[in-house]
Structure 1
Amino acid sequence: SYGVTTVRTPSADPYEMVEVRESRAVGRRIEPRTFGTGSTVDGSRIYYAGAPALTSHGQVDLAMAQAEDLSFDLLKTYVRLSDPVQRRVIDDAHALGLPVTSHELYPGVAYGADGVEHVKGTSRRGYSPKVSDLNRSYQDVVGLLAASGMTMTPTVGIYGGYAVVSQDDASLSEDRRLEAFAMRPPPRGGDASDLTVRRRLVRDMASLARRIVEQGGTVVVGTDSPINPSGISLVAEMQILVEYGGMTPLDVLRATTSISAQAMGYGHALGTVAAGRLADLVVIGADPLTDIRAVRDVRYVVSDGRVYTLDELLQRPVR
């Protein structure tokens, strides 16, 4: 209902991911298409339950076999995977044609990793290699990302951005989609001086995306949902990157559509309007190049050529 027709899920129960993907394919569910994977690929002391704990090359072979058997679209290495095993996972995933992302900028950038998740994020270093304690990223971070071609998914919303933009724009809470799906409303209230500090921290984090783009790097827009509610968190992230980070609406729209499709290797089919592309379109009521908040004003969604009105998408499923 927020116009999202495709999602990338960097971590999921592998068999649930397959079920979701297949249910959509046969028309059992109305939902975005999913580029999915299994659990995070982790080391000897896993962070999340269900993650494979890889400490030997033989275990890597098993993880790669599952990725191939279940047709994963990507892999995400996680924070307790050792550096040498991360390198092996990246090499083997690339041999299968799969992109690899992680929280780690370095040494992932030297190993040929394809993406980095979160402007902050947990790390096996015990500190963040991407941002200081004051939420500032220095030129070495921008330079590595721009020169390497790795994608950066900032997810500023989960680091206070969603709360700040919700305080500054009450209309985020005035949306019937929140009530229809029983999603918790954006947070409101709080001390004014604290909000001033949080605005500055959010601006510092969001500006990283603008700096990367200005130096020729690649930013894609994501949310780390369901930490914040699905759908609304994406349009809020777009607003954050424009109004707090200083990106242009055009750059944010491209990062959400065509550049994201290219990052998944599907630029030939998704993300642009052209002959031969899959028929995914969102019809909105105003010009987002003038005001990025217009992306919330969804009138129709076209998914695989089928047209849905907002009212249709908000209907509760029949039990």
Structure 2
Amino acid sequence: MPRHFILILLLLAFLMSACTASQNYKDADLYSGFTRLDPDRQKRVEDAWLIVRDGTIVEMGQGTPPQGDFAERYDMSGLYGLPGLIDGHAHITAGPHKLEVVDGAPRVTIESVDAITEFHAKIAIGFGVTTVRNPGGDPVANAAYDEKVASGEWIGPQALHAGAVIQPPPFTGAAFAYPKSPEEWDREAARQADLGMTYFKLYTSLTEEELGEGVRAAKAHGLIPIAHLDAVSWTKAADLGVEIMEHALPTSPDLIEPDQREAYLKDASYGLSSKPAYVWFEMVDYDGPLFTEMVRALKDHGVALNLTLSVNELIYNTDDLSGVLLEEDAKFTHPESLTAMKQFLAGAAYGWTPEDYERARTVWPRVHEFVQRLETAGIPMMIGTDSNSGGVYMAHEMALHIDAGLDAWTVLDMATGGAADIMGLGDSTGRLAPGYEADIVFLSADPLTDMSAIRKVVHVVTDGMSHDAAAVRESALSSLN
């Protein structure tokens, strides 16, 4: 074949390829020019690009991106892109705490309010939180939230929920339940499962027998048992089958060595106050057999943790919240929820003296050692804020884990891929890779240098939908007016 015919064929092939490439990208978005941070691989990629189609990342690379006609081109030069943040403990559908007295008996309720939920859902997206684990709330409200986000009626993160928290009175209302027989346990677990819940939340006042019954009922109906515990130790809970522990507050007397247990019960006014939140850390023996056995049980049973160090910080500073709940951040919590939270915290610290606060704030190094020992043992952990939306509180919670001695890559992974793995979503979100959901956050500063950069969110992609972060935040705030 003459040489010029070969050249013509090659040229035609090139032109057809170029046309095909252009056609292939007309329904896709291109994000380019950013520094990609991959926490799970601890890898940093300069001048990165990625292509999103139908809510999924389809291509990624470095340098010059593919040529073609894209639906949208986003120049992210100077920004840092990482997987969308995952708040492992966000009560996204919770309304304000309310305490009232009915027929002489106290009642605590946390009823969901649509306007408040929609506000917090927008704030979550506005600060780069694309997935949340909601560890307890009205299951009907939770199911309604999922429907509104899926339909596009609301902007909000994907959520995996626990339904009504299992806790005795005075907690009551749609957000709580207290089964008293095996039949009632099964009926409540079945109800929550039928409404699409993922978790079954077991709470502080349950006995060991009740905890075991809750685990049984949860697993019988395909739910994952999770727990925030006080009386029952983490060791016993792990042996019973609880799969995720909530809060860095494992304050059971059974984890205090026998020669110190009586002093702990007395000094902490155990069962009568919230003082165990700091006294436990003063008296626990990290090298003793009980703590060692607890860590072994957690590891052997594959239990994951969500430590919410912000909760410890709040409890230890309820006498002066100005240094914890910053004034510039307060606007990102719905006013009704913020007021109720402050009232609840004040009540939780009832009976504390100035000496209690001094001791509590002094115990932080012991809390840090607790975190370090769990991380060294290889216990899976995720970042959770115990807020309504994550929002600005994600950056603060992550910074507290840095203060506890964890490195920045580890903390970033705890808020992205590591959290996704714990939640069973590790094959679909939490990472930037072809085939994964396009959940992406773009920051104006490098979180590896300063974790406060997590709050500097410029742009968010959730399930492929692109959002100007400032506009989303402003939309939420304007709804208050």
The normalised TM-score by structure 1 is 0.82
- Tell me the distance in 2 between the aligned counterparts of 1:196 and 1:41: 34
Q: What is the deviation of 1:212? A: 0.9
Which residue of 252, 272, 275 maps to 2:431? 272
1:135 aligns with 2:288: no
1:221 aligns with 2:383: yes
Higher relative contact order (CA 8 A, sep 6+): 2
Q: What is the deviation of 1:18? A: 1.1
More strand by share: 2
Q: What is the deviation of 1:232? A: 2.0
Amino acid at match of 2:165: T
Q: What corresponds to 1:25 in structure 2?
A: 150
Q: What corresponds to 1:48 in structure 2?
A: 171
Whose Rg is larger? Answer: 2
Amino acid at match of 2:226: T
Q: How many residues are treated as equivalent by the alignment?
A: 306
Q: What corresponds to 1:145 in structure 2?
A: 298
1:292 aligns with 2:451: yes
Amino acid at match of 1:49: T
Helix, strand or coil at the partner of 1:5: strand
Q: What corresponds to 2:113 in structure 1?
A: none
- Tell me the distance in 1 between the aligned counterparts of 2:281 and 2:251: 14
Alpha-carbon deviations, 1:66-121, whole Å to 9, x = none? Answer: 02210111111122333234223323423443221112313211012101111116
Aligned CA distance change for structure 1 residues 290 and 161 (closer, same or farther; 3 Å): farther
Q: What corresponds to 1:202 in structure 2?
A: 364
Aligned CA distance change for structure 1 residues 41 and 122 (closer, same or farther; 3 Å): farther
Where in structure 2 are there 5+ consecutive unaligned residues?
1-125, 255-269, 343-354
8 Å CA contact 1:73–1:98 kept in 2: the answer is yes
Alpha-carbon deviations, 1:224-267, whole Å to 9, x = none? Answer: 224xx742222211001102x11111111111111211111111
Aligned CA distance change for structure 1 residues 231 and 77 (closer, same or farther; 3 Å): same
1:313 aligns with 2:472: yes
Which residue of 36, 39, 42 maps to 2:161? 36
Aligned CA distance change for structure 1 residues 47 and 9 (closer, same or farther; 3 Å): farther
Q: What is the deviation of 1:146? A: 3.3
Amino acid at match of 1:286: A
Helix, strand or coil at the partner of 1:133: helix
Aligned CA distance change for structure 1 residues 24 and 285 (closer, same or farther; 3 Å): same
1:104-115 alignment runs, 5 A limit: 104=229, 105-115=234-244
8 Å CA contact 1:220–1:260 kept in 2: the answer is yes
- Tell me the distance in 2 between the aligned counterparts of 1:195 and 1:55: 38
Alpha-carbon deviations, 1:109-155, whole Å to 9, x = none? Answer: 10121011111167698569x97615255343434333432111111
RMSD: 3.5
The normalised TM-score by structure 2 is 0.56
Helix, strand or coil at the partner of 2:165: coil
Where in structure 1 are there 5+ consecutive unaligned residues?
188-192
8 Å CA contact 1:160–1:198 kept in 2: the answer is no
Q: What is the deviation of 1:178? A: 4.5
- Tell me the distance in 2 between the aligned counterparts of 1:195 and 1:249: 30
8 Å CA contact 2:136–2:164 kept in 1: the answer is yes
